């Protein structure tokens, strides 16, 4: 009875995961999707549909009537056109662009020129939006050091340690920062609401509506510490999940033979693979302890620990890759032979996103992670030697 219950639970979790992937992917992947990746990549084509680009050094001059997604270490977007532009990178430079919406996150973001006909949502370490940028909609901006010289057609919501605003704002302005500076060229068409330790408003600055000072609400000391602790834990958990997600996608791209072989085993023998993973999870710690208590076995124990730890992300990558390939098959994307780089990138990313979302659910997320790890470990340990021998 217990075995039947365990199998039923495993099947429910598995198919729930597949359904979530299907729902997550259907709307975005019904159209023809263009995807490109590499260490250095330049894209200047015209695309009729959605496009994904990823590279360490990425230059985007592409034009699309749909959405463009770009990720990389250094990203230059020059002359690009898109409906929605979504960018994430270390250093981002944007010039002479035309988007309906812009969503960006990065360490250092400079927007030099261009037109955004609707809204802008940006989070960055240092953010600079020059006066040659026109934003017809609203702006939601945050960062460490934020300078806004562009005109904002709607309302502006900005928060930063150091916040400088010197462009016209047609709607209300909601500003938060340690230091807030309103320059001489600014005109705010609505109300100004601000919360700041220090504010400087130029004599020629114009505020049509009211100026409302928002004082921080008093909090008991223990409440402040609890909020800070909860925030720190949440940030750490999110950073860990995102980091793990990036690592999983990288492994899926770098070890195609191992991922395909492990995925095939999970598909054909899911419960046998889970059983192997459970045995490894139980046996490995016992072997490590046994080796440590022997003088000659200590170095081997350390090597076993290192191997065990190094295999964990590969095991998770194998399970997530399997889920991505199952989603691909469900949508009828199966092609002759093994999937190419683009297919591995897109479907691994979709499965990783779903996996991270599930992981955020209390209790259920932990169960899914454990099951995924055990199944992946069983597949990797069984098929790893053969796949790596084929120069995965």
What span, in angstroms and rounded, lies between the C-alpha atoms of 308 and 110?
43
Please write the tens of the pLDDT for every residue from 238-294.
Answer: 555 566 556 666 766 677 777 788 888 888 888 777 777 777 777 667 666 665 665
Tell me: pLDDT of 20 over 50: no
Q: How confident is the model over 193-216, as a mean pLDDT?
A: 89
| Cβ neighbours of 294 (radius 10 Å) | 10
Look at residue 8 in the predicted model and tell me its pLDDT. 41
Tokens of 226: 């609890």
Residue 288's nearest CA partner among 269, 267, 309, 270 is: 309
pLDDT at 349 exceeding the cut of 90:
no
Query: Considering the entire predicted model, what is its pTM?
Result: 0.53
Which own/partner pairs from 338-342 qualify as long-range (CB within 8 Å, at least 24 positions apart)?
A: 338/256, 338/260, 339/260, 341/37, 341/253, 342/35, 342/36, 342/37
Q: With a cut of 60, say whether residue 362 has pLDDT above it.
A: yes
Q: How far is CA 253 from CA 10, 69, 110, 115, 347, in A?
A: 27, 18, 31, 36, 11
Backbone φ, ψ for residue 50 (5° rounding): -60, 145
Split at pLDDT 50, 70, 90, the class of 298 is low
pLDDT for position 2: 43
- Distance separating alpha carbons of residues 180 and 207, to the nearest angstrom: 15
What pLDDT is attached to residue 243? 60
**Mean predicted lDDT score pLDDT of the chain:** 76
C-alpha pair distances (Å), 258 with each of 69, 229, 317, 338, 343 = 28, 40, 10, 12, 16
């Amino acid at each position: 009875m217990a075995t039947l219950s365990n199998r039923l639970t495993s099947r429910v979790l598995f198919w729930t995961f597949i359904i979530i992937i299907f729902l997550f992917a259907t709307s975005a992947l019904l159209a023809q999707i263009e995807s490109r990746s590499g260490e250095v990549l330049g894209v200047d084509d015209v695309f009729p549909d959605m496009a994904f680009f990823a590279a360490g050094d990425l230059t985007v001059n592409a034009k699309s009537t749909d959405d463009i997604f770009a990720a990389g270490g250094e990203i230059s977007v020059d002359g690009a056109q898109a409906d929605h532009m979504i960018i994430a990178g270390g250093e981002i430079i944007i010039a002479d662009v035309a988007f309906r919406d812009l969503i960006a996150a990065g360490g250092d973001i400079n927007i030099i020129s261009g037109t955004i006909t609707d809204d802008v949502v940006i989070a960055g370490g240092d953010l600079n939006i020059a006066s040659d940028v026109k934003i017809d909609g609203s702006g939601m901006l945050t960062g460490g050091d934020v300078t806004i010289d562009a005109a904002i057609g709607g309302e502006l919501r900005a928060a930063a340690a150091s916040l400088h605003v010197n462009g016209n704002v047609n709607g209300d302005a909601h500003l938060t920062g340690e230091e807030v500076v309103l320059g001489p060229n600014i005109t705010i068409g609505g109300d100004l609401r601000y919360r700041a330790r220090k504010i400087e408003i130029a004599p020629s600055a114009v505020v049509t509506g009211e100026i409302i000072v928002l004082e921080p609400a008093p909090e008991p000391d223990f409440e402040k510490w609890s909020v800070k602790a909860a925030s720190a834990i949440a940030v750490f958990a999110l950073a860990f999940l995102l980091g793990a997600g990036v690592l999983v996608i990288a492994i899926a791209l770098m070890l195609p033979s191992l991922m395909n072989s492990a995925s095939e085993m999970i598909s054909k023998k899911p419960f046998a693979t889970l059983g192997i993973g459970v045995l490894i999870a139980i046996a490995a710690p016992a072997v490590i302890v046994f080796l440590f208590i022997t003088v000659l076995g200590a170095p081997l124990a350390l090597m076993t620990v290192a191997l065990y730890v190094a295999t964990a992300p590969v095991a998770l990558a194998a399970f997530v890759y399997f889920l991505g390939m199952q989603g691909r098959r469900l949508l009828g994307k199966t092609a002759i032979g093994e999937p190419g780089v683009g297919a591995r990138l897109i479907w691994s990313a979709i499965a990783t996103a779903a996996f991270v979302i599930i992981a955020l659910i209390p209790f259920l997320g932990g169960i899914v992670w454990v099951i995924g790890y055990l199944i992946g470990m069983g597949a990797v340990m069984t098929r790893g030697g053969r796949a790596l021998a084929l120069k995965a």
